Chains A and B, each alone.
Chain A
Amino acid sequence: MGPKRVHIRFLLLFICLVVLFFLNVCIGSVSIPFDQVVHILAGKEGERASWAPIILSTRLPQTITAILAGAGLAVGGLQMQTLFRNPLAGPSILGISSGAGLGVAIVLLFVGNIWGVALSGIGVLGHMTVIVAALLGAMVVLFIILLLSKSLKDNTMLLIVGIMVGYAASAIVGILKFYSRKEDVHAYVIWGLGSFSNVSWEHLTVFIPVILFGLVLSFLLIKPLNVFILGENYAANLGINIQRARFFILICTGLLTAVITAFCGPIAFLGLAVPHITKGIFRTSDQKKLMPAVILTGATLALFCNLIARMPGFDGALPINAVTSIIGAPIVISVIMRRRKLVGFNA
Chain B
Amino acid sequence: MEALLRTYDLAVGYTARNGGVGCLHKHINVELQAGEFACLLGPNGAGKSTLIKTLSGFLKPLDGEVMLLSEALPQMNEKKRAKTVSVVLTERVIIPNMTVFELVALGRTPYTNFFGRITSKDQEKVKQAIKDVGLAQFEQRQLMYLSDGERQKALIAKALVQDTPLIILDEPTAFLDLPSRIEIMQLLRKLAKDKKRGILLSTHDLDLALQLSDKIWLMAPGKNMEAGIPEDLVLADGFRRFFEKEGIVFDNDSGTFKVEKEQLKTIRLVGQGIEYKWVSRALHRTGFKTTREEGDYPQIEVGEDGNREYLLKRKDGSKQKLRTIEDLLARIKEE
Contact = CB atoms under 8 A, between A and B. Distances in A.
Nearest to A2: B140
Interface stretch (A156-164, A179-187, A195-203, A223-231): A223-231
Which residue, of A219, A231, A241, A344, has the highest number of chain B Cβ atoms within 10 A? Answer: A344
Interface stretch (A47-55, A94-102, A265-273, A282-290): A282-290
A237 interface: yes
Interface stretch (B34-42, B87-95, B315-323): B87-95
A239 B79 contact: yes
Given A222-B115, A223-B112, A238 B107 contact: yes
Contact of A239 (B94, B103, B110): B110
Contacts of A342: 96
Given A227-B109, A285-B97, A343 B87 contact: no
Interface string B106-141: 110110101111000000000000000000000000
B211 to A, nearest CB: 29
A327 B110 CA distance: 41
Contacts, number: 90
A344 B162 CA distance: 25
Interface in A214-270: 219-220, 222-223, 226-227, 229-231, 233-234, 236-241
A240 B79 CA distance: 8
Dominant SS among interface residues on chain A: loop
A31 interface: no
A283 B78 CA distance: 32
A343 B142 CA distance: 11
Contacts of A226: 106, 109, 116
Contacts of A343: 94, 96, 144
Nearest to A282: B97
Interface residues of A, number: 30
Interface residues of B, number: 34
B140 to A, nearest CB: 9
Contacts of B328: none
Nearest to B88: A234
Contact of A238 (B58, B110, B144): B110
A32 to B, nearest CB: 42
A229 B105 CA distance: 13
B95 A283 contact: no
A222 B57 CA distance: 24
Interface in A256-315: 279, 283-286, 288
A343 B145 CA distance: 9
A238 B109 CA distance: 6
Contact of B115 (A227, A239, A288): A288
A334 interface: no
A233 B97 contact: no
B268 to A, nearest CB: 57
8 contacts: A227-B109, A230-B93, A237-B81, A239-B82, A239-B109, A284-B97, A288-B117, A347-B95
Interface of B: 56-58, 78-79, 81-83, 85-87, 89, 91-98, 102-103, 106-107, 109-110, 112, 114-117, 144-145, 162
The 7 closest A-B pairs by CB, nearest first: A239-B82, A344-B94, A223-B116, A238-B109, A239-B110, A285-B98, A343-B144
